[in-house]
Amino acid sequence: MPYRKDWIERWALYQPEKQAVREHSSQRSLSYGQLQEQGLKAAAFLKEKLKLQKGSRVAILADFCLEHILLFAAAQKLGIILVPLNYRLTGRELAFMLDNCRPELFLADERYYPLLEGQHILEQIRHLMSPAAFSTAIAEHPCQGFDSEELEDDHPLFILYTSGTTGFPKGALYTHGMAFWNSINTATRLDITSQDHTLVCMPPFHTGGWNVFLTPFLHHGASVTLLPKFEAGQVLQLLEQEKATLFMAVPTMLKMLLDVPEFAQVGLESIRYFIVGGEPLPIPTIERWHQKGVLIRQGYGLTEVGPNVTSLNHQDAVRKQGSIGTPNFYVEYQIMDDAGKPVAQGEAGEFWLRGPMVTPGYWQNPEGTAAAKEGDWFKTGDMVRQDAEGFLYVVDRKKNMFISGGENVYPAEVEHYLIGHPAIEEVAIVGTPDERWGEVGKAFVALKEGAMLSEQEILEFCRQGLAKYKIPKYVQFVGELPKTDTGKIARMLLK
């Protein structure tokens, strides 16, 4: 393990007074020296008081806050596994994840307690605290020194839950080695140094929130401001005031930034790039940002790999519109047909990835791991093609996933929930274009014979058990769903 070091410990030695992270809503901040000191106390508290050890899971249900970063520092010392949970989900969905990962400590912000009302899984968790109580406890805990655990490169740092194509979420393992190599790939392609600064307004339950910039920045001694949510005007003002150098957003966010008065009021001269992922940006949007002097770098990634896998250089943003660019430094790839053979240049095939930034698999899900991997290769489920110059383009999603406002929506998960309604015989969800969110869901519903159900009743049923972004915007009733010769739903016909 020549490269897996305690990043916080090293930067506390090199530049202890340098600000590492600031929480904008409270104005709390930590220098690297303070983060090291508090991280040691957090690790000692978890081990000595709560009896957690290497491999213990710590679930977190809260907006991005300093406590997330303290837990990251503790994870590098103790080897706990962080499980950030999605506060946009329902209690039913959260209970599944808690039951799957079985945390020994659950940090839940009090504002999200109502989500978990009546969920019996809470009775099986040894320690339940708020982030504020956690900070108070570690501040009061005596720390006479802490011997850090030896952590292997493949030891999990996170369990990141992704919506499942089988109807249940899967917990992708994200290791310390993955974090290191993702940081190296990111810094090599984007020239990250300790002088960089960014705002993080992506949520903490996304690999984008943690691993597009936050962990690479901590690895390189840079600084970060945490925002609990995205507000376009505020983001533009802070990018200007704090002289941010890099910023990551999804296309929906970039479009919103263009539409607020602050867009004309800020210069953003310090910005080197905006990093955009999730879906292609329209050329007019790219051009408006370029006219502003803000260069756009589009890319591709996923929870299980990287996530920073490819990047499109800004000078090619218009010329290669729609492209995800070329692979980052330590990324190997193949484009494969259904038989597992390479396709001819220019033809579409499934994107397979290999390298030290690939997940070892899914938490307690050997079937899901086996289905996603072919030896060392991870099969992304995304269909891509490569042009004559080597630029890659996503042309389809093999797993039928669509993106709504930057959130991945898997039709199978929504269908699995809706089919539980006693009046529904069969259902299919497809993504359909939407001016604001990029795509939204449309439900094609066939009712059981004699059953009566309105569109509003279906949407109300969805609101009871699905996160808001997963709820279909449209419902269309059909006598039966079109099928292929093999009896599968003909989704392309529905689209």
> Which position has the token pair 């008065």?
261
**The residue type at 1:** M
HEC string of 53-108 equals CCCCEEEEECCCCHHHHHHHHHHHHHCCEEEECCCCCCHHHHHHHHHHHCCCEEEE
CA 140 to chain centre: 33
Query: Comparing 38-42, 144-148, 276-280, 476-480, which segment has the lowest mean pLDDT?
Result: 276-280
CA pair distance 3, 180, nearest whole angstrom: 8
Torsion 446-449-453-459 (CA) sign: negative
CA–CA gap between residue 432 and residue 437 (Å, rounded): 10
What is the model's pLDDT at position 348? 87
Q: pLDDT-based confidence at 472, cuts 50/70/90?
A: very high
Q: What is the pLDDT of residues 448-466, one digit of tens each?
A: 999 999 999 999 999 999 9
Residue keyed to tokens 């999603």: 397
Q: Is the dihedral of CA 398, 399, 402, 406 positive or negative?
A: negative
The CB-side HSE value for 210 (13 A sphere, CA atoms) comes to 28
Q: What is the mean pLDDT of residues 316-327?
A: 92
Residue 278 has pLDDT above 50, yes or no: yes
Could you give the CA distance from residue 138 to residue 152 in angstroms, rounded to a whole number? Answer: 26
Give yes or no for a contact between 78 and 39, defined as CB atoms under 8 angstroms apart.
no
User: Within 10 Å of residue 220's Cβ, how many Cβ atoms?
Assistant: 18
Assess whether the previous peptide bond of 307 is cis (omega < 30° from 0).
yes
Fold of 7-386: Rossmann fold (3.40.50)
**Residue 165 pLDDT:** 52
Strand order in the sheet with 105-108: 127-129, 105-108, 57-61, 81-84, 156-162, 170-175
Domain range list for the chain: 7-386, 401-493
Q: How far apart are CA 181 and CA 369, in angstroms?
A: 21
The CATH number assigned to the domain with range 401-493 reads 3.30.300.30
7-386 and 401-493: same fold?
no
Q: What's residue 85's pLDDT?
A: 97
C-beta of residue 369 within 8 angstroms of C-beta of residue 166: no
The pLDDT tens digits of the residues spanning 66-118 come to 999 999 999 999 999 999 999 989 999 999 999 999 999 999 999 999 999 99
> Do the beta carbons of residue 80 and residue 74 sit within 8 Å?
yes
Give the mean pLDDT of 183-197. Answer: 97
Q: For 45-52, what is the mean pLDDT?
A: 97
171 pLDDT exceeds 60? yes
Percent of the chain's residues with pLDDT above 70: 97
The rounded radius of gyration (Å) of the Cα atoms in the chain is: 23
Which residues make beta-bridge pairs with 224? 21, 198
The gap from C-alpha 402 to its chain's centroid, in whole angstroms, comes to 15
What are the pLDDT digits (tens) for 362-391? 999 999 999 999 999 999 999 899 999 999
Name the pLDDT band for 420 (thresholds 50, 70, 90). Answer: confident
Binned at pLDDT 50, 70 and 90, residue 484 comes out as: low
377-386 and 156-162: which strand pairing?
unpaired
More confident residue, 280 or 159: 159
Distance, CA of 10 to CA of 139 (rounded, Å): 22
User: Does the pLDDT of residue 231 top 80, yes or no?
Assistant: yes
pLDDT at res. 2: 42
Predicted confidence band of residue 245 (pLDDT cuts 50, 70, 90): very high
Q: Across residues 271-296, what is the average pLDDT?
A: 90
Q: What percent of the chain has pLDDT over 90?
A: 82
| β-bridge mates for residue 396, sequence order | 383
User: In 302-326, which positions are buried (b, 16+ CB within 10 angstroms) versus exposed (e)?
Assistant: bbbbbbbbbbbbbebbeebeebbbb
Distance CA 367, CA 372 (A): 9
pLDDT confidence of residue 144:
80
Q: Tell whether the model's pLDDT for residue 3 goes beyond 60.
A: no
pLDDT for 33:
98
Closest to 306 measured CA to CA, from 156, 409, 454, 180: 180
Ramachandran category for residue 102: left, alpha or beta (phi over 0 → left; psi -120 to 50 → alpha): left
82 neighbors 56 (Cβ within 8 angstroms): no
- Please give the mean pLDDT across all residues of the chain: 93
